[in-house]
Structures are given as C-alpha cells and as structure tokens.
C-alpha cells in the first residue's frame, strides 16, 4: 500500500477538473521516465483505457490501465489490466477542506510479480513510486498556480484559443499540455504528412499549413495568439556550411511563410509569439544581458547565432502590422531526456563530467516547464510585446553548473575539457554554444510577475531528476 497526500489551496472542483482535462496525463508523467502514450481516452469515465509503453534500456514494456470508478468531484480509480505488476489499483481522491482548499490523496494498492523473487526489488520499486508521486503532486500544485496566473491575465471569460507550430517538440508538447490543463483551446499548426500517433499528443484541433497557406483556414481564424516554435536543432550536428544553412533556413523561411499565411486570414491572431535564442547577444563575458535593453548589446563579433537570431526575429516582426509580436529569446531548456542536459547526464554518471574550458563563462538556463509557461504567458498577457529573455533569474557559470549537476547525480566531476580540445572536436559550435558567456537576466518576466517553478539550478534539477 502506498499513499501520498497533499493539501492544496484550490477548490475540490478545480483540482478534480485539472485531472480530467486531456493534457493531465502528459503533465503527470515524470520527465525522467521513458514513457510513451500509445492510446489515450480524453475521459475518466468507467471503461475508458490508457495504454503506455515504458522503456527500460532495450526492454520495452506495455502497461494497459482501465478506469473502474468515477465519482466527480471526489474520486476516480484505475486498475492495471496488464503490465509490470501482479496487481495495481490506483485511487485518486480529492477531499474538500474548505470552499477554497482541498486535499489530494493518491492511494495505490499493488503486488509485485514473481513471488519471492519479485520481493528482492521491493525497496527499489517503492523509491520509484515515491519519486513519481512526489513529482505528480508538486506538478499539480505548480500547474494550478500557473493556470491561476494565466486566467487572471485573460481579458474576458471566453475560452482562450492558441495556435502552436512545433507542437511535437520538447517545448511544444509542454505548451499544448499546460494550455490544456489550464482550460485553453489549442490548434496545432502542422505540416502535411504529420504522423503523430493517436496517443502521442492530446487530441486538439489541427490546421495543416504548407507553402504559405492553411488547408482549413477556418480553424485558425480569430485565434488569440499563435506560438511559433521549432527549427533544426543547433546542437544536433557539427556545423558544416550545409548544416548552418539548414539551421538558418528552418527558422527564417518557416517564420516568413507562417507570418504571410497568418496575415492573409480574414481575422488574424491578435498576437504572434516567436521563439529565438539568447545567442542573439553573442559572447558578453560577465555583462548582464537584460531584456530591458535588448537592442543595446553588440560585441562586434557578428557570430553565426547572432546572425540567425537577428534574421529570425526580423521575420517574426513582419506580423507587426496585424498585431502584437513577442520574441522569446530562449536559454538552455533543462530536460533529462532531451536537449543539452540529456547529453551531459550520461557522461556525469560515468564520472566523466567536468568544467568546459575555463569554466568562467556564464550559462543561462531555464526549467523546461518554465520555458513552456513563458511562451503561454507572452501569448495571453495583453501587455506583453517585444523581446523577452526566457531564462531563469539566476544564471550560473559553467563551473557552478558542473558542481551542482555532479552533486545532484552523486558523482565526481574532475575531468575538465580544455578549450582547444572542444574547438578541435566541435569547431565553431564549441565557441558559440559551450565557451561563449551569456549572462541573461529575466527582468521583463519578473516585472510581469511570471511564476517561475525553479529560480535556482539546484531546485530545477531536484524537480526534473529523481
């Protein structure tokens, strides 16, 4: 028997509604778990099923659960039909404490397989379950706080409608799920031939976009905002000239095309929110790169990432004659299985981690959920416009980043990588991604009272790693 209980400063109905919305299952799977949703049902009613696939190394295991009780707003239950346990029954209970607070209780009865042999892993299983439900309750609270923040900014009581391009990416998926549990309506803007499986992404309205035109423009008419994400990964390959061209064109050309398509609508969105990167600042040493004076930074180097960012942002500003434009200059988004952090963790776990170059260069970062939440904040806040740094308020040097990560993983980090070695292996990418110092502030988000989930690196790693 396992039980996790938390008191939440939200009404019983509010907490129950959160769990019943389509994106809730996505929000409540810990980011360190290699889990894929193969089949989902956008309901908690009795008889509906969810099929998950969990990867443990080379082993893939399916887990089919069926909802077996439904009594809103206080209780629903699911049971394992087939999966890793001999038995698993999970009761989700929401009790009212006052008319403004409630108690969330997750109660699980489970039996391990293989009898006595299975009991050998009992303590490890319990630790995994504890970590999972600690994450679920913390995320539920943070999501409810974020939803409260978003809804307080909405100009009226109608449902907020947001278009999202790049909805299948690391941040795009979170934008869609967070919007869903906050009660927004999402329209996924996708390319022809998009093959997201039925369970992979919650069922949202879809608008196919190609060659500057929407196949069903009525789906995107009158949106409150469009969030444009995506682009070829800047760290996926060594930067040859052809790769650099792909990085540039995948951002600039797609943005120009989407802006033109949105401008051609009878009722264009009120706002266009476009991703960019803090690479726009270039190497600034110890100078604080404040988005309150974003246009005042120029180091005279005209690096590749500075060029990409400027052209990308200029393309986004082409929407200015139709509505407000927000540019989100994104710092390194932290996720344990995707992005830059996912490439560091295996090395650190092997004891091969260490500072890069001198270690004095500043690394700006952001919790992946804060990145997604910031894009939604910019989309909904009627007062937001212009350039924003999507970064934690507390950037750290590479030496500090290395120390905090190694302590979290309980490993030594004593193997520094010299600058010349990094440049030999990675070329220009090493200079601009690993050795450049960009100390980005989050002044504008803070001025607009954005509710950061993680302000310190240690807190962020505690949230995204077991």
How is the chain split into domains, by residue range? Answer: 2-151, 154-464
pLDDT for res 195: 57
Measure the CA–CA gap between 218 and 207, rounded to whole angstroms. 9
Phi/psi of residue 13, each to 5°? Answer: -65, -40
pLDDT for res 296: 76
pLDDT for res 420: 80
Closest CA to 335 of 243, 222, 461: 461
* Ordered per-residue pLDDT tens for the chain, 466 residues: 999 999 999 999 999 999 999 899 999 999 999 999 998 887 899 999 999 999 887 889 999 999 999 999 999 999 999 999 999 999 999 999 999 999 999 999 999 987 777 777 889 999 999 999 999 999 999 999 999 999 999 867 789 999 999 998 999 999 999 999 999 999 999 988 765 555 567 667 888 888 888 988 999 999 999 999 978 888 888 899 999 999 999 999 999 999 999 999 999 999 999 999 999 999 999 999 999 988 877 766 789 999 999 999 999 999 999 999 999 999 999 999 999 999 999 999 999 899 999 999 999 999 999 999 999 999 999 999 999 999 999 999 999 999 999 999 999 988 888 888 888 878 888 888 899 999 999 999 999 999 999 999 999 999 999 9
Instruction: Spell out the CATH class of 154-464.
Output: alpha beta
Closest CA to 215 of 190, 242, 238: 190
Task: Specify whether the CB–CB gap between 143 and 18 falls below 8 A.
Answer: yes
pLDDT for res 8: 98
Handedness of CA 443, 445, 447, 451 (dihedral sign): negative
Phi/psi of residue 66, each to 5°? Answer: -120, 135
Measure the CA–CA gap between 437 and 299, rounded to whole angstroms. 12
Domain spanning 2-151 has what CATH number?
3.30.530.20
Measure the CA–CA gap between 390 and 326, rounded to whole angstroms. 11
User: Using alpha carbons only, what angle is made at residue 243 by residues 240 and 249, rounded to the nearest 5 degrees?
Assistant: 140
Tokens linked to 396: 């750290």
Could you tell me the pTM of the whole model? 0.95
Q: Among the residues of 381-447, which ranges form H helices?
A: 398-409, 419-426, 428-429, 443-447
- The radius of gyration of the chain from alpha carbons, rounded to an integer in Å, stands at 23
Peptide bond between residue 73 and the one before it cis (omega within 30 degrees of 0): yes
Task: Specify whether the CB–CB gap between 438 and 360 falls below 8 A.
Answer: no
């Amino acid at each position: 028997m396992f039980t996790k209980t938390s008191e939440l400063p939200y009404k019983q109905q509010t907490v129950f509604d959160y769990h019943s919305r389509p994106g809730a299952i996505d929000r409540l799977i810990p980011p360190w778990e290699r889990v894929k949703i193969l089949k989902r049902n956008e309901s908690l009613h009795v008889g509906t099923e969810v099929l998950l696939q969990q990867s443990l190394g080379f082993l893939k295991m399916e887990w089919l659960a069926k909802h077996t009780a439904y009594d809103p707003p206080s209780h629903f239950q699911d049971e394992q039909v087939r999966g890793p346990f001999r038995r698993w029954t999970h009761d989700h209970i929401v009790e009212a404490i006052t008319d403004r607070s409630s108690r969330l209780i997750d109660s699980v009865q489970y039996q391990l397989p293989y009898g006595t042999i299975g009991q050998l892993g009992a303590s490890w299983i319990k630790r995994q379950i504890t970590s999972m439900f600690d994450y679920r309750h913390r995320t539920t609270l943070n999501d409810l706080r974020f939803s409260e923040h978003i809804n307080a900014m909405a100009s009226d009581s109608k449902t907020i409608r947001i278009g999202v391009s790049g909805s299948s990416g690391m941040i795009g998926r979170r934008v869609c799920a967070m919007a869903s549990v906050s009660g927004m309506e999402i329209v996924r803007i996708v390319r022809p031939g998009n093959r997201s499986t039925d369970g992979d992404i919650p069922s949202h309205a879809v608008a196919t976009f190609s060659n500057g035109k929407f196949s069903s423009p009525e789906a995107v008419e009158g949106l409150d905002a469009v969030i444009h994400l995506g682009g070829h990964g800047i760290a996926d390959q060594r930067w040859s000239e052809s790769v650099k061209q792909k990085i540039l064109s995948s951002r600039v050309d797609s943005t120009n095309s989407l802006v033109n398509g949105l401008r051609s609508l009878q009722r264009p969105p009120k706002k266009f929110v476009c991703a960019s990167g803090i690479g726009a600042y270039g190497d600034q040493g110890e100078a604080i790169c404040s988005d309150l004076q974003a246009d005042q930074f120029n180091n005279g180097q005209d690096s590749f990432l500075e060029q990409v960012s400027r052209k990308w942002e200029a393309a986004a500003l082409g929407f200015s004659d139709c509505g407000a434009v927000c540019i989100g200059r994104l710092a390194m988004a932290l996720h344990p299985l995707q992005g830059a952090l996912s490439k560091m963790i295996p090395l650190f776990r092997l004891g091969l981690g260490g500072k890069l170059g001198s270690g004095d260069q500043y690394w700006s970062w952001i919790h992946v959920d804060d990145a997604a939440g910031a894009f939604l904040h910019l989309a909904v806040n009627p007062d937001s416009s212009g350039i924003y740094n999507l970064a934690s308020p507390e950037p750290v040097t590479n030496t500090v980043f290395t120390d905090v990560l190694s302590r979290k993983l309980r490993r030594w980090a004593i193997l520094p990588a010299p600058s010349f070695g990094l440049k030999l292996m990675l070329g220009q990418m090493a200079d601009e991604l690993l050795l450049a110092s960009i100390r980005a502030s989050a002044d504008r988000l803070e001025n607009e009272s954005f509710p950061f989930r993680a302000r310190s690196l240690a807190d962020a790693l505690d949230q995204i790693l077991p």
